Amino acid sequence: MKISYEWLGDFVDLGGVSPKEAAEVLTRLGIEVESLNVIDLSQIIVGKVIEQKKHPKSRNPLWVHQVDIGGRTEQIIAGADNAVPGSLVPVALPGTTVPNGKLVKDLNIAGFSAKGMLCSAEELLLGDDHSGILILDSGKPGDSLTTVIPSQATMDVEVTSNRPDCTGHLGVARELAAGVDRPMKVDFMPAFTGKAEPAGRDLVKVTIDDSDLCSRYIGGVITGVKVGNSPDWLQRRLRACGVRPINNIVDITNYVLLEYAQPLHAFDRAKLSGGEVHVRRARAGEKLLCLDGVERELTPEMLVIADADKPVAIAGVIGGEETAVTDTTTDMLLEAATFNGPSVRQTARAFGLRTEASARFEKGLPAELALAGARRAAALIVELAGGAVHREWADVYPRPQEPVRIRLKPWLVDEVLGIHVPLEDSEAILVRLGFHVRVLGDGEWDVLPPVFRLDVSIPEDLVEEVGRVWGYDRVPPTLPGRQRDRWTPSTPSMGRRLDAARQVLAGAGFTETWNPALVSGRVLEQLRVGARALRVSNALSDDMDTLRTSLLPSLVNVVALNRDRGRSDVKVYEIATVFLARVGDKTTQQPEEPQRLGVVADAGATAESGRAAFYAMKSVLDACISELGAPPCTFQRASAELFHPGRCAAVFQDARQLGYLGEIHPSVVTGANLEGRLVAMEIDVEPVLAAASAVRARPLPRFPAIERDLAVVVEEHVAAGALLAAIKEAGRDVLENTRPFDEYRGAQVPDGSKSVAFALTFRSPERTLTDAEVDNVMVEIKLALEKKHGARFRE
């Protein structure tokens, strides 16, 4: 919101407080000034035009002026002709830079010297009128322009949603006054001066039909107004705040909105049918041609202002064209009402139309503000548009604002802030902000907030009022650290525990990614992993309308993106939540949110490179699991969406399945516009962490080991894992370790068979083994392999 520094000066003496200082005070108080724009008019002087003649030689029409600038006369040439003799005008002499940035030079135009410039409103940044020279209402030649128009400063302020009272200059000025400790020049509630007969409430009959959406409606009648232009100062202030002047009546309603934060509306009373005003919900099918020229269809949840026949305004949002004040209006109805915030917001949203009025109503305005705004507007109308205010306005107020009282233990201020604020200072601050404070016998305070402050209701709110004016800069930083007899022992977070896996992955060349959890539901369905996906009901776009059920589609896309950008051998992973809707009658509950580790890597282009990459991925998984301190995983051939049907393993830890590891299905790869092969895994990490335990050191071996190799020839279908299990079982307690290290097909191995080579390490913890002992165990191992898997052996 734009706030004019000059305007604030109407309410509080700003002598000695520069715009910059005022901005700093407001920011410290909680009204954040985002930017400050100062228009310095002190270098511009007032001039009086003595003579105006057409330039005789110039091809473009130019006018040569003789201008009295106080004690001397200068010749100044202008393109506009509105500075007729006698006009008071702003003059910029050579060497001056005018506010729009133009440097004025000493010129000679076709034989006529030009000693300066007559300024338009646009050049002085006082408006967008560049059609002519700005004509001043008053001023003395030679004086600084600031004697007529003060230097302008506008602030862009951000008002928090709890302070609708500060969406007007009066409220901001009150904050500033409290901040600089100066009195307010005006009272919140202006006097009412309406005397004309008959009583306003007899001229316009107001009824609130739906009082749940309107807690107060004031309809003030003013007759005999003369519609015309507003005076310069008012137009200038409106412009400074970004509002376009229209006519004096409309301008005054806008002016009071910007001043009191109370939206107002002016109707041409003659156009209100039946002399009636109804505040009611719209009826199905009703329409209204609005002030912006758009006809809007109304729905029954919207509140409207209607006359005897039809809606004439959408409550709190926008008025109707037909009943608007025009040049011919003489009698008017001034509306000042308090509409329900959520209702106004809903209506404004439904139309995609956020007006100055709706923005204020949305936040919930105090009903007392309506009366203050209406009185202020009536006074201005009489002053600037003439007319007579009728006595006894209609003021329908079905639910009067409840006064709030707060019992404050004033020492709470010190307790919350952690510093000492003298009681008299706390009290003075509250009084400066418009609160009434009564000290009770027990030392507690009975505090009555001002009527325009609906945001204050509990003692902590009062602490905040005192704190922000006292100054939080005066609160020194401390750390909590009192005696404690209870605490929670420190445990490492899940994220920190998983860093062990991150380190393994980094060492193996994998880079971590964070990918959005919202993905395209259509793509999940195409990949057939959308069955348990949750769909957002109000998505921003269909490429992020669904929560992902797997990390792998995102990671495949990461490979595609990086290949597009010239990378090969992409190795990436992510540790994040996936979302699985609950099934059966629990679909409306919160979903399961398992934490997953997903890994994807390039796996070359050939079946053989894919196979190697598969085993490399197993090594990565084994290393991660081992670093996390969990028992090793086992693998079972499986099939799963996203995975290659012949190259997919279900990953188990004890009896629990953690996820899958394997090559990505070729159709998923091509679906992502990729060539070649990808290898991947995705596992649940929470069970891994749950199974983790501290490493227990084993004693170092005291006796030597004996190494043997064994080449086992079996039929193709026999898995290395099965052979391994058989060897381990037969190797008893002297087989310390064994692993397969080679797989061979070809000469010396029959068709349909393969040779798997194992390295075996034998050792006893109690004695030195003899070759003969190991030979015996090897015989047993061979027998077992022969019996269970029909194995033959190669030397």
Single out the residue of 53, 130, 535, 787 in contact with other proteins (rule: CB under 8 A).
Answer: 535
Single out the residue of 168, 467, 521, 610 in contact with other proteins (rule: CB under 8 A).
Answer: 467
Single out the residue of 9, 220, 366, 591 in contact with other proteins (rule: CB under 8 A).
Answer: 591
Q: What is the smallest separation between the CB atom of 323 and other proteins, expressed in angstroms?
A: 29
Single out the residue of 547, 661, 674, 714 in contact with other proteins (rule: CB under 8 A).
Answer: 547
- 145 Cβ contact partners less than 8 Å away, ≥ 6 residues apart: 41, 42, 44, 45, 46, 90, 124, 139
On whether the CB atoms of residues 38 and 31 are closer than 8 A, the answer is no
Check residue 588 for interaction with other proteins (CB under 8 A): yes
Is the Cβ of residue 361 or residue 445 nearer to other proteins in the bound state? 361
Q: What is the smallest separation between the CB atom of 508 and other proteins, expressed in angstroms?
A: 7
Cα dist from 499 to 90, 575, 628, 680, 690, whole Å: 70, 10, 9, 20, 15
Check residue 747 for interaction with other proteins (CB under 8 A): no
Q: What is the smallest separation between the CB atom of 684 and other proteins, expressed in angstroms?
A: 15
Single out the residue of 567, 702, 717, 787 in contact with other proteins (rule: CB under 8 A).
Answer: 567
Q: What is the smallest separation between the CB atom of 19 and other proteins, expressed in angstroms?
A: 14
> What are the beta bridge partners of residue 158?
32
On whether the CB atoms of residues 63 and 55 are closer than 8 A, the answer is yes
How many whole angstroms from its chain centre is CA 429? 33
Is the Cβ of residue 163 or residue 169 nearer to other proteins in the bound state? 163
Torsion of CA 351, 357, 360, 361, to 10 degrees: -70
**x/- site string to other proteins, residues 236 to 275, per CB under 8 A?**
----------------------------------------
| Residues 42 to 71 in contact with other proteins, rule: CB under 8 A | none
Contact segment (CB under 8 A) with other proteins among 95-103, 420-428, 556-564, 717-725 equals 556-564
Single out the residue of 147, 511, 673, 768 in contact with other proteins (rule: CB under 8 A).
Answer: 511
Check residue 561 for interaction with other proteins (CB under 8 A): yes
- What is the side-by-side strand order in the sheet with 792-794? 735-744, 753-762, 706-715, 792-794
> What are the beta bridge partners of residue 650?
636, 660
Contact segment (CB under 8 A) with other proteins among 134-142, 386-394, 504-512, 645-653 equals 504-512
- 564 Cβ contact partners less than 8 Å away, ≥ 6 residues apart: none
Q: What is the smallest separation between the CB atom of 478 and other proteins, expressed in angstroms?
A: 4
One-letter amino acid of 782: K
Check residue 491 for interaction with other proteins (CB under 8 A): yes
Torsion of CA 199, 205, 211, 214, to 10 degrees: -70
On whether the CB atoms of residues 465 and 430 are closer than 8 A, the answer is yes
Q: By three-state DSSP, how is residue 554 classified?
A: helix
Single out the residue of 43, 73, 562, 761 in contact with other proteins (rule: CB under 8 A).
Answer: 562
Single out the residue of 4, 513, 738, 755 in contact with other proteins (rule: CB under 8 A).
Answer: 513
Contact segment (CB under 8 A) with other proteins among 254-262, 399-407, 535-543, 737-745 equals 535-543
Contact segment (CB under 8 A) with other proteins among 83-91, 358-366, 380-388, 735-743 equals 358-366
What is the total count of residues that contact other proteins (CB under 8 A)? 88
Task: Indicate the length of the chain as a whole number.
Answer: 795
Check residue 328 for interaction with other proteins (CB under 8 A): no
Check residue 767 for interaction with other proteins (CB under 8 A): no
Residues 758, 761, 765, CA angle at the centre, nearest 5°? 155
Is the Cβ of residue 381 or residue 576 nearer to other proteins in the bound state? 576
CA-to-CA distance for 427 and 287, rounded, in angstroms? 53
Is the Cβ of residue 58 or residue 577 nearer to other proteins in the bound state? 577
- 528 Cβ contact partners less than 8 Å away, ≥ 6 residues apart: 641
Q: What is the smallest separation between the CB atom of 403 and other proteins, expressed in angstroms?
A: 21
- 250 Cβ contact partners less than 8 Å away, ≥ 6 residues apart: 266, 324, 325
What is the rounded end-to-end Cα distance, in angstroms, of the chain?
A: 89
Is the Cβ of residue 250 or residue 501 nearer to other proteins in the bound state? 501
Strands 678-684 and 107-109: what pairing? unpaired
One-letter amino acid of 273: S
Check residue 596 for interaction with other proteins (CB under 8 A): no
Nearest to 241 by CA among 174, 294, 167: 167
Is the Cβ of residue 591 or residue 610 nearer to other proteins in the bound state? 591
| Residues 413 to 432 in contact with other proteins, rule: CB under 8 A | 415-419
Burial-class residue 704 by CB neighbours within 10 Å (0-12, 13-18, 19+): exposed
CA-to-CA distance for 181 and 189, rounded, in angstroms? 21
Is the Cβ of residue 181 or residue 569 nearer to other proteins in the bound state? 569
Single out the residue of 198, 228, 300, 509 in contact with other proteins (rule: CB under 8 A).
Answer: 509
Single out the residue of 2, 20, 21, 28 in contact with other proteins (rule: CB under 8 A).
Answer: 28
Q: What is the smallest separation between the CB atom of 503 and other proteins, expressed in angstroms?
A: 8
Check residue 733 for interaction with other proteins (CB under 8 A): no
Q: By three-state DSSP, how is residue 435 classified?
A: coil
Check residue 695 for interaction with other proteins (CB under 8 A): no
Residue with the two structure tokens 């724009």: 37
Check residue 303 for interaction with other proteins (CB under 8 A): no
Check residue 19 for interaction with other proteins (CB under 8 A): no
> What are the beta bridge partners of residue 448?
436
Check residue 458 for interaction with other proteins (CB under 8 A): yes
Strands 107-109 and 112-114: what pairing? antiparallel
Single out the residue of 138, 328, 488, 693 in contact with other proteins (rule: CB under 8 A).
Answer: 488
Q: By three-state DSSP, how is residue 372 classified?
A: helix
For residue 701, is the peptide bond before it cis, meaning its omega torsion is within 30 degrees of 0?
no
Check residue 195 for interaction with other proteins (CB under 8 A): no
Check residue 737 for interaction with other proteins (CB under 8 A): no
Check residue 525 for interaction with other proteins (CB under 8 A): no
Q: What is the smallest separation between the CB atom of 262 and other proteins, expressed in angstroms?
A: 17
Check residue 612 for interaction with other proteins (CB under 8 A): no
SS3 string, 86-98, reads CCEEEEECCCCEC
Check residue 610 for interaction with other proteins (CB under 8 A): no
| Residues 107 to 166 in contact with other proteins, rule: CB under 8 A | 160-163
Check residue 583 for interaction with other proteins (CB under 8 A): no
CA-to-CA distance for 595 and 593, rounded, in angstroms? 6
> What are the beta bridge partners of residue 595?
577
Is the Cβ of residue 400 or residue 507 nearer to other proteins in the bound state? 507
Single out the residue of 353, 539, 692, 711 in contact with other proteins (rule: CB under 8 A).
Answer: 539
Is the Cβ of residue 108 or residue 538 nearer to other proteins in the bound state? 538
- 411 Cβ contact partners less than 8 Å away, ≥ 6 residues apart: none
Nearest to 474 by CA among 524, 396, 417: 417
